């Protein structure tokens, strides 16, 4: 990255960091963009240059690193296994602060009513990207019903866990997500007591 690009990335990260801090302290609705700008020591117009809407401060596109990791997984692995391997790699490469920030954003998306519509758009975009990547790995059309079903199953596990995690913030959502995918990969068997 050039010096200019690094400076832009640093400014963007600072704005988002201050926004998340203020959302945590004051609540999403009560926090104004002007307060975020002041905390980050930038003009409100700078906040809007990096984040066109207030919702964008929460909804960040973190899928590109995952897509890169998924593309690097050996093609002979089943799509579910490939997804799990890629997800573990991305999570292992996150710093502790990046993971905390990511979890905080996820929690906001599922607990703040004003973010619901934006969250659903974000989720549907993630699902489309996942579908397209899995289809490419398998040499299939993205409209293939089997690709749709695998994508929907992965997404279902993800969304179900997000809802549960919003109610139970102590849950280790990363570990539970991996367990959910393992259960899915094993055929969704239900043990009978």
User: C-alpha angle 60/65/70, rounded to 5°?
Assistant: 130
Going along the chain from its start, the domains and CATH numbers come out as 3-52 (1.10.10.60), 58-185 (1.10.357.10)
pLDDT above 90: residue 47? yes
pLDDT at 60: 65
Summarize the confidence of residues 44-64 as an average pLDDT. 84
* More confident call, 170 vs 26: 26
Asked if residue 161 lies in contact with residue 110, where contact means CB atoms within 8 angstroms, the answer is: no
pLDDT at 130: 92
pLDDT at 5: 87
pLDDT at 128: 92
Environment class of residue 84 by beta-carbon count within 10 Å: exposed (0-12), middle (13-18) or buried (19+)? buried
Query: How far apart, in Å, are the Cα atoms of 170 and each of 87, 158, 173?
Result: 21, 17, 9
CB-based contacts of 11: which residues, under 8 Å, 6+ apart?
A: 40, 42, 46, 50
Asked if residue 107 lies in contact with residue 20, where contact means CB atoms within 8 angstroms, the answer is: no
Task: Give percent above pLDDT 90 in the chain.
Answer: 38
61-110 per-position pLDDT tens digit: 556 788 889 999 999 998 989 988 998 888 888 888 877 777 778 778 87
Rounded to an integer, what is the distance from CA 181 to the centroid of its chain?
Answer: 16
Lowest mean pLDDT among 26-40, 65-79, 102-116, 136-150: 102-116
- How many helices (H) and strands (E) the chain has is answered by 9, 0
E strand segments, the chain: none
Q: How many CA atoms lie within 13 A of 150 on its CB side?
A: 23
Q: Which of 89, 57, 56 is nearest to 70 (CA)?
A: 89
pLDDT above 60: residue 140? yes
* More confident call, 133 vs 193: 133
pLDDT at 151: 93
pLDDT above 60: residue 134? yes
113-124 per-position pLDDT tens digit: 888 877 788 788
The helix/strand/coil state of 139 is coil
pLDDT at 175: 86
pLDDT at 142: 94
Banded pLDDT at 139 (limits 50, 70, 90):
very high
């Amino acid at each position: 990255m050039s010096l200019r690009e690094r400076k832009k990335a640093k400014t963007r990260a600072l704005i988002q960091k201050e926004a998340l801090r203020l959302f945590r302290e004051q609540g999403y609705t009560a926090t104004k963009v002007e307060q975020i700008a002041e905390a980050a020591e930038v003009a409100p117009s700078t906040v809007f240059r990096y984040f066109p809407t207030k919702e964008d401060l929460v909804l960040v596109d973190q899928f590109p690193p995952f897509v890169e990791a998924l593309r690097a997984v050996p093609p002979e692995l089943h799509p579910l296994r490939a997804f799990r391997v890629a997800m573990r790699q991305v999570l292992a490469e996150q710093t502790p602060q990046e993971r905390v920030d990511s979890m905080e954003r996820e929690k906001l998306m599922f607990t703040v009513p004003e973010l619901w519509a934006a969250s659903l758009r974000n989720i549907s975009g993630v699902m489309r990207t996942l579908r397209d990547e899995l289809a490419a790995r398998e040499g299939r059309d993205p409209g293939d019903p089997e690709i749709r079903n695998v994508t929907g199953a992965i997404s279902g596990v993800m969304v179900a866990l997000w809802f549960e995690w919003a109610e139970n913030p102590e849950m280790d959502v990363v570990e539970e997500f991996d367990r959910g995918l393992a259960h899915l990969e094993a055929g969704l068997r239900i043990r009978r007591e």
